[in-house]
Amino acid sequence: ASAKPSTDPSAVQADVLQNLEYVVGAPSSKIPNGLDASSVYRGVAASVREHLIDAFNRTQDYWSEKDPKFVYYLSAEFLMGRSLMNAVQNLELTDTYSQAVKQLGYDLETLRDAEQNAALGNGGLGRLAACFIDSMATLNLPGWGYGIRYKYGMFKQAIDEKGYQQELPDIWLSNGNPWEIPRPDITFKIGFYGSVDNFKWSPGETVLAKAYDNPIPGFKTPTVGNLRLWEALPVAEFDLSAFNEGKYDKAVEERRKAEDISAVLYPNDATEYGKELRLKQQFFFVSASLQDAVARFKAKHGDNWQLLPEKAVFQMNDTHPTIAVAELMRLLIDEQSLDWDTAWGITQKTLAFTNHTVMPEALEKWPVKVLGKLLPRHMEIIDKIDQIWKDSLKEKVLAQVEEMHKKNPPKPKAAKPLKKEVPLAAKAEAGEPAEDEDEEEEEEDPVEAALNKYGIITENPWEKGVKLVNMAYLAVVGSKAVNGVAAIHSDIIKRTIFKDFYELAPHKFQNKTNGVTPRRWLAWCNPGLAALITETLGTDTWPNDLNLLTGLRKHADDKEFQKKWRAIKHENKAKLAAKIKARTGVDLPTDPLYDIQIKRIHEYKRQYMNILSIIYRYHQLKTASPEERKKFVPRVTIFGGKAASAYYMAKKIVRLINRVGMVVNNDPDVKDLLKVVFVPDYNVDWAEALIPAAELCQQISTAGTEASGTSNMKFQMNGCLIIGTMDGANIEIAEEVGKENLFIFGMDESEVPAWRESKRAEWKDYDPRFVKAIEMVRDGTFGDKEYFQDLADSVYDMKKGNDWFLVAPDFADYLRAQEEVDKVYLDQDEWTRRSILYTAGSGFFSSDRTIKQYADEIWDVVPVPVPSS
């Protein structure tokens, strides 16, 4: 039995030295002065790792002994960011390590920056998974995350001298990864291709999934959870027969092919059309995870499979892991010899599904051809699920059709449904829909037609005769619960994408409003504010009980308190400005209003609308007299975010923002009244610096498009005011903070469809300020004149673009809200009062609350606290 690592600073210092010497291989003679920060970081990390592993082993052993129900969070993405400070803080060893490191001549803050960001995710969905496993550990909930150990994470973004986005590989493992424990003894075989003979699958290709465990510390608990990530390897290190035949290159090629599966994260958070490798990745990690969990179950309970739903639940994070429905069926039927009905009953009780988007192009549909070739046995299973599912609905549908015919006798010829509008981006990706070639199609059986809307396997509307597997439908049918991620979103999915399914099984549909971990997103990233909160509330337990923040409300009008509150924000702004100066060379004043929009670049998120408003502001400044200029409220506007590499319009938006920055920041007329900065390579690390410094954040998606948003919650916690639409979780934030304290504008979700379908055609109500801004994009004020024409067209010229996301009709009200922002900012006491109310009202958005709801209302998993040793 190993001794618990010491927490005494001098013992920790000795431990760091030991690790520097024997793990990093740095001779102690070089300490303190001869070592670079990266080496020292690795020594410190190796030391912290010992504490983590110690508590990790105790937790996992205890859980294994108690055998409670486990939740397995299946996610293709975990956007973890850095681990050092999070681990040290969660273990409550910050002072210890600060002191130990200081005595060696370094400071923890500098070492922190030597760590690579673990960017195994695109954006919101991946970061949510990271917050969730943090909360699971903190709440002592027996559960693991399961995902992929990508060799290359989210690409690094560089901005070239023309303002254009460049994508560079994210080589995050080059210095090793002290936060993972390789498990060469935990491997599973994963099959692909091949054939099925009498329900028996003989894969044509097999790879190995190797486990890496990543300990996840909870806060103020000895519990350390686990994120198990899978790496793909060849089954045999090399094909020896190929060597013997002298085919050295073939043997090496085989190895590379296997490794390709876990090589790279798909850097696209909206569309990825029919990419076989992506499906391969999905099946790879789902199969490994299910095999692992099923083996663990079997070791305890043998063949008592009816007990599985009482011992395990798998939460599927969006459609990416939904092949789990077919894989669990296969494992139970083919490997464990259960009959179909028994297996189906168990599957339906063991899986649950979260939807994160209503954008049709992000709901995965795999061509039957692709899925059937890669996973022939699973295709068979999905076919049968689809058949049985539709059969079970026949009577109901028949009754419905008869009812309908009674009320409304069928006309000789059915009217053709109106063509559905889709955004330009989606059209470009998918191609135009196939036109009906012959209008005189054979009359479809009305029952067949009514059944088809429930079909898991459907015809591609864009390509006649091409069959697709609708993965979201497969998940809905195969799950015990389906949830959206904010109240409005959960409502919308019941009315739109899952309407027919909702009507059949309303009890299945739930809401679980997202949350974020208050440790990383308040306590750790904003130490100044955290200290003031602790001092004011008289307790430091609020990060585990975030509703305690309501205790700040009574101080919102206290002028002295406001002053302290403002001073912290100002300090954070100065820190951010220094970081921006170091990374981009741009000098920022620290007194102006800091206005920030950070998220993936998307037309629906409307960074474009933001930059258009800045362009107009710039125009106003340029045309104002020196006297008038004095009335402007100085602003620093900051953008950050990556565009998917093939997303044409998003890349143009990145370039426009950068171009505007180049002009505005160098214009002597403007001086410190307006700055526009695009921070390159926005990631978790940037977020931790930007959010505490923000005074205004932009949550301005077209109503009905942003499922939830989670940065809105992080900003709120850090006392940042919101300008935004009534969309996603903004609505619930407004409820907690008081709508009058947000700057709300724009159409709401109920008005959007009507505008798109009918009003848009005759709408000509362009605000002259909008016209002016568009003109400046067109006329070369920011260079790249030709390049920006179609960006201008996309929201203005209805023949060329359709302004699907309502930039033009929302613009005037957006400017009105912006004027309101300026007005309130002039009254610093009022601004600060609101800022305090934001933080005070953010308790609901702790991911601890979200995870408690999942545990109680879907998972049926209860805390199993590990006794402290």
5: DSSP letter: P
User: Of residues 637, 710, 725, 850, which has the active-site annotation?
Assistant: 710
Stretch that binds ligand 26Y, among 119-127, 322-330, 386-394, 460-468 (CB under 6 A): 119-127
Question: Bridge partners of 157?
Answer: 167
Give the list of residues 6+ apart from residue 163 with CB closer than 8 angstroms, or none.
654, 655, 656, 657, 658, 659, 661, 662, 678, 784
Residue number of the CB closest to ligand 26Y reads: 124
Let me know if 785 is a catalytic residue.
Answer: no
| Cα→Cα distances 487→145, 208, 512, 604, 846, Å | 25, 41, 8, 19, 16
512 is catalytic: no
| Residues sharing a CB contact under 8 Å with residue 654, sequence separation 6 or more, in sequence order | 159, 163, 164, 165, 601, 641, 643, 678
Using CA atoms, how far apart are residues 424 and 804, in angstroms rounded to an integer? 8
269 binds ligand 26Y (CB under 6 A): yes
Ramachandran region, residue 140 (left: φ > 0; alpha: ψ -120 to 50; beta: rest) = left
In the bound state with ligand 26Y, the residue whose beta carbon lies nearer, of 123 and 143, is: 123
Interatomic CA distance for residues 213 and 353, integer angstroms: 24
Number of shown-chain residues binding ligand 26Y (CB under 6 A): 21
- Binding flag, residue 367, ligand 26Y (CB under 6 A): no
DSSP one-letter string for 290-358: HHHHHHHHHHHHTT-GGGHHHHEEEEEESSTTTTHHHHHHHIIIIIT---HHHHHHHHHHHEEEE----
Concerning whether 356 is annotated as a catalytic residue, the answer is yes
The residue from 365, 605, 675, 834 that is catalytic is: 605
- The least CB distance from residue 828 to ligand 26Y, in Å, is 31
Which position among 116, 122, 157, 458 is part of the footprint of ligand 26Y (CB under 6 A)? 122
156, 228, 356, 659: which is the annotated catalytic residue? Answer: 356
Window contacting ligand 26Y (CB under 6 A); options: 163-171, 400-408, 561-569, 700-708: 700-708
Residue 845 CB, shortest distance to ligand 26Y, in Å, is 11
226 binding ligand 26Y? (CB under 6 A): no
Which range touches ligand 26Y (CB under 6 A), out of 243-251, 354-362, 682-690, 818-826?
A: 354-362
CB of 268 to ligand 26Y, least distance (A): 5
485 lies in the binding site for ligand 26Y (CB under 6 A): yes
> Is 703 one of the binding residues for ligand 26Y (CB under 6 A)?
no
What residues from 489 to 548 belong to the interface with ligand 26Y (CB under 6 A)?
514
Half-sphere exposure of 326 (CA within 13 A, CB side): 27
Q: Which is nearer to ligand 26Y, 289 or 708 (CB)?
A: 708
Instruction: Work out whether 386 is an interface residue with ligand 26Y (CB under 6 A).
Output: no
Which of 51, 599, 602, 769 is the catalytic position? 599
Sign of CA dihedral 297, 302, 308, 314: positive
Nearest-approach distance from CB 501 to ligand 26Y, in angstroms: 20
Alpha-carbon gap, residue 655 to 785, rounded angstroms: 12
Determine the interface stretch with ligand 26Y among 13-21, 24-32, 519-527, 703-711 (rule: CB under 6 A). Answer: 703-711
80 part of the interface to ligand 26Y, by CB under 6 A: no
Give the nearest distance from C-beta 401 to ligand 26Y in angstroms: 34
Tell me which of 177, 268, 544, 610 binds ligand 26Y, using CB under 6 A. Answer: 268
Helix 828-840 vs helix 730-737: crossing angle, to nearest 10 = 110
Q: Is 724 in the site for ligand 26Y (CB under 6 A)?
A: no
Task: Name the one range near ligand 26Y by CB under 6 A: 221-229, 264-272, 774-782, 821-829.
Answer: 264-272
Nearest-approach distance from CB 128 to ligand 26Y, in angstroms: 4
The DSSP-derived string for 236-255 is SSS-HHHHHTT-HHHHHHHH
Q: Give CA–CA dist 283/277, Å, rounded.
A: 10
Pairing relationship of beta strands 224-234 and 205-217 according to DSSP bridges: antiparallel
* Sequence-distant (≥ 6) Cβ neighbours of residue 138 within 8 angstroms: 218, 219, 220, 221, 223, 517, 519, 544, 848
CB of 340 to ligand 26Y, least distance (A): 30
Tell me whether residue 600 is one of the annotated catalytic residues: yes
User: How near is the Cβ of 686 to ligand 26Y at its closest, in Å?
Assistant: 17
Among 16, 128, 568, 713, binds ligand 26Y (CB under 6 A): 128
Instruction: For tokens 């299945």, name the residue.
Output: 508
Contact flag: residue 749 with ligand 26Y (CB under 6 A): no
Q: Does 709 bind ligand 26Y (CB under 6 A)?
A: yes
For residue 575, indicate whether it is catalytic: no
Query: Does residue 221 interact with ligand 26Y by CB under 6 A?
Result: no
Q: Has 183 been annotated as catalytic?
A: no
SS3 assignment for 109-145? HHHHCCCCCEEECCCHHHHHHHHHHHHHHHCCCCEEE
Cα separation of 133 and 867, whole Å?
20
Stretch that binds ligand 26Y, among 100-108, 328-336, 541-549, 706-714 (CB under 6 A): 706-714
What are the helix (H) ranges across 415-555? 424-430, 446-452, 471-478, 487-495, 499-504, 518, 527-537
User: HSE on the CB side for 800, CA within 13 Å?
Assistant: 9
Nearest CA to 329 out of 261, 277, 380 is that of: 380
Give the range of 45-53, 123-131, 157-165, 586-594 binding ligand 26Y by CB under 6 A.
123-131
> For residue 395, how many other CB atoms are within 10 A of its CB?
9
Give min distance, CB of 355 to ligand 26Y, in A.
Answer: 9
Distance in Å, CB of 362 to ligand 26Y, minimum: 4
Could you say whether residue 730 binds ligand 26Y (CB under 6 A)? no
- The answer to whether 773 and 808 have CB atoms below 8 angstroms apart is no
Catalytic residue positions?
356, 599-600, 605, 710, 714
Contact residues for ligand 26Y (CB under 6 A)?
122-125, 128, 266, 268-269, 272, 356-357, 362, 364, 485, 514, 706-710, 728
